[in-house]
Amino acid sequence: MDIQELDKFKEDPSVASAMQFGEALTKKDLNIEDKRLIFREAFKIVGSKEKLEAIINMWAVGTMIEANLPYTQKIEAVRQVLKDKELTPSMIEQWATVIYDLNHAPKDILDFIAIDIRNIRGISKELKARLGHPNP
C-alpha cells in the first residue's frame, strides 16, 4: 500500500503534512483494517509531538466511525477529539466536513458530531449550512 502523503509526512512531520496525510487516508478506498495499520505507522512517526499526535488521532477516529462498533464507543471517541486542546476549530471543521461529505458514518453519528461541535467549539456558518441547520 503506497500512500504518497504518508511518505511526505515521514519526510516532514508537520501540522500541514499530518492534515494532508489524515485527509488522504480517510478518503482512500481501503478497508478499515488497512487504514488502521497505516495510522499505526503514522503514530510511530509522531513520537512525543502532542499536536501531531492529536491530528493523527482525529483522522483515525474519523476512520473508526466507519467501523462496525457500538455507537456509544464511536460517540465517545468523537467527543474526546472535540475536547482535545491541541486541535484548532479549523482543523476540526476540516475533519468534520470530510467525514460528512464522505457519508461513511451513520447519520446519527454525523448528527452527534454536529451537535458536539456546536456545543463545545462553536460552528461556522458554512458548516451549519452544510449540515442542514435552519439558521446558518
Residue numbers in the chain where pLDDT is lower than 50? none
Question: Cell 479549523 belongs to which residue?
Answer: 90
Question: What is the model's pLDDT at position 118?
Answer: 66
- The 10 Å CB-count burial string (b at 16+, else e) for 109-126 is bbebbbebbeeeeebeee
The percent of residues in the chain predicted with pLDDT above 70, rounded, is 79
Question: What is the model's pLDDT at position 124?
Answer: 65
Question: What is the model's pLDDT at position 65?
Answer: 85
List domains and CATH numbers for the chain. Answer: 4-130 (1.25.40)
Question: What is the model's pLDDT at position 123?
Answer: 62
